[in-house]
Amino acid sequence: MQGQRVLCHTAHPKLIVPLSIQLDTTEYLSDANIRQRRFAREQRRIQQTHELAEAEQRAKAVAAEIAAATAAIEPLAGRLKVAEAHAEAAVDGVDAKMIELLKHALGALDAAQKAPSTRGVEVLELALGGFESHLKALDDARKAKEFALARKKWQQRVAQQCETSTDHVAGIEAKFADRVAGSAFLEHPALVADIRAAKAAIAAARSITSHPISIDDEANEDDVRAYLDKLRDDVDEADCMVNAALARLVMLAEYHEVQKQVTDADGPADALLQALDSAWGDSTSTLLEKIQHIRSVLKRAARVRALSAALHAADLDSEELCASDAALAPLAAAAKALLETLDAESADDAALTACDDAITSYATAANAIRVARAEAAAAEKARSESFAGMQAAKTAAIASARQRLHAWQEEVAAAHSLERTTSVVKRAHVQNRWPTVTSMDPPEAKRPKIVRSSLIVRQTPPRLLVSSRVVAIQEDGRALSPRTLAAEKVAREETALRTQVIESQKRKEAIACLQRLKEKELRQQALKSIAERSSTKSITDTDDNA
């Protein structure tokens, strides 16, 4: 049958009508055959199950192996990258073997990444281990070379530093021996401990410079640095201790110099010096401060004594001067009050300066009065000597004055119809005045005086009623008529007024000086109180912080 055609023995195609034919293919078997076939079927199913389980296990094992190999490849690749970077950094140590090992490791890594497996990982580990071992060998050789160079450099540094330190220690020891050799204070309790400490520090520095560090294969830079630091510290310690001992020696020299300056009269300074004798355990700076304080006390005491001597010199004739000049008494009282308040131990420069200014003002005013008195006395002496030496000139001047007086009398008598008379009229002469024309004539040569009668008094104007005395001027001997009583009164009033003005000015100056002294004292007290408050506040802040 071919397709839908049926071939018969005649080979004529005929149309076949399809039929629905159902065949019964049921196989009727016996029970034994059925059991055998069922058993065989069960066996085949069990076998298939085992095969599937084994295949699944093999697939899981392969997957686990691939995963483990992949996980192991990543750190190995990182190690290889680090080793490659290390090899690139060490350009000087690159050789052919290292390049070959690197190529082998890179090839093993490429193969393991393409087909991850345990064997590939093992091959990669072996190749990487060989490459790293070669790098380590090169690195060890480089480090050995660098260590040799560093050790040579360390040895040079140590030798140079030891030589420098030895010279420094020798200089320190020579300076110490030179300064201490001739000193007379070596057994002083303030210097014994410092001398001993300086000698011990010099011995320690000399010991470390004479025994340098041994630089072997186990030495490192930290050991060398520690030795050099200790060497510098010991040398610096020796220098510091020697300087401290020498400073102590200088302090003792200053102490003995101050001790020579202190006398029995310097009570506060002597007490401070005795307190210093029992405080040799303090630091050198503290002892120097105490010595400087004693010096300042001595200086202030000397200045107080000088001020007292100046006041005593200015106060020799103070009672007479104060009696003659009222403005001088306040200055003297202020100077004495300021001097009495001075204390050599607690007085400051401002108080000493204020007292000095007050004494200077008082002495200047007193000296001015003394100079004025001396000048007046000298002028009076010169005036008296001038009068004594000009007797002839006075006589000639008197004669000339008489002639002028007679001419004036004749003129007045002719103008007012006066006549000369010889009658004597009582009149009072003022004693202790300058010599007049009539008083200087000898008693036997007295001429008759012009007498003014009541008529003359009535007819003569008041401006012409003056005394007949004429004053002789000592410079040129000219004769002038004396001043009237009114003029003399005006002159006396002007002199009194001028004296009052001068005394008022002096009183104002003394009051201003006292005011300045009071203001200066108030400023000093204010500054002192501010300083005390500042020190108290700083101490309180320190206690609060503590």
Longest dimension (CA), the chain: 239
Residue 11 has pLDDT above 70, yes or no: no
Name the band, by pLDDT with cuts 50, 70 and 90, for residue 43: very high
Model confidence pLDDT, tens digit, residues 191-206: 677 778 888 888 888 8
Q: pLDDT per residue over 173-227, tens digit each?
A: 877 777 776 666 666 766 677 778 888 888 888 877 777 766 666 667 777 788 8
> 125-134 — which CB contacts under 8 Å span 24+ positions?
125/76, 127/101, 128/76, 128/79, 128/80, 128/83, 130/101, 130/104, 130/105, 131/80, 131/83, 131/98, 131/101, 131/102, 131/104, 131/105, 132/79, 132/83, 134/97, 134/98, 134/101
Q: Does the pLDDT of residue 431 top 60, yes or no? A: no
DSSP assignment letter at 294: H
Would you place residue 437 in the very low, low, confident or very high pLDDT band (cuts 50, 70, 90)?
very low
**Mean of per-residue pLDDT scores for the chain:** 71
Q: Vertex 372, ends 368 and 376: CA angle to 5°?
A: 170
**Percentage of the chain surpassing pLDDT 70?**
58
Kindly tell me if the per-residue pLDDT of 113 is higher than 70.
yes
288 contacts 276 by C-beta, under 8 angstroms: no
How confident is the model at residue 47, as a pLDDT?
92
Burial of 393 (0-12, 13-18, 19+ CB in 10 A): middle
DSSP string, 258-271: HHHH--TT-HHHHH
pLDDT of amino acid 50: 92
**Predicted confidence (pLDDT) per residue in 246-275, tens digit:** 778 777 777 777 776 666 555 666 666 666
**Confidence check: pLDDT of 36 > 80:** yes
| Contact indicator for 255, 280 with CB cutoff of 8 Å | no
**What pLDDT score was predicted for residue 451?**
44
Cβ contact 242:248 at 8 Å: no
pLDDT for the residue 35: 85
pLDDT per residue as tens digits for the range 448-480: 444 444 444 444 455 444 444 444 444 555 555
- The region of weakest confidence among 343-352, 388-397, 432-441 is 432-441
- Residues 378-430: pLDDT tens digits? 776 776 666 555 566 667 777 888 888 888 878 877 776 666 555 444 444 44
The C-alpha torsion from 144 through 149 and 150 to 155, rounded to 10°, is: 130
The closest of 209, 228, 210, 231 to 219, measured between CA atoms, is 228
pLDDT-derived band at 233 (thresholds 50, 70, 90) equals confident
CA neighbours closer than 13 Å in the CB half-sphere of residue 334: 26
Helix orientation angle between 284-314 and 328-341, rounded to the nearest 10 degrees: 150
Helix, strand or coil for residue 8?
A: coil
Q: What is the DSSP string of 492-507?
A: HHHHHHHHHHHHHHHH
Q: Which two tokens stand for residue 205?
A: 């520095």
Residue that the structure tokens 């300042």 belong to = 296
Tell whether the model's pLDDT for residue 124 goes beyond 50. yes
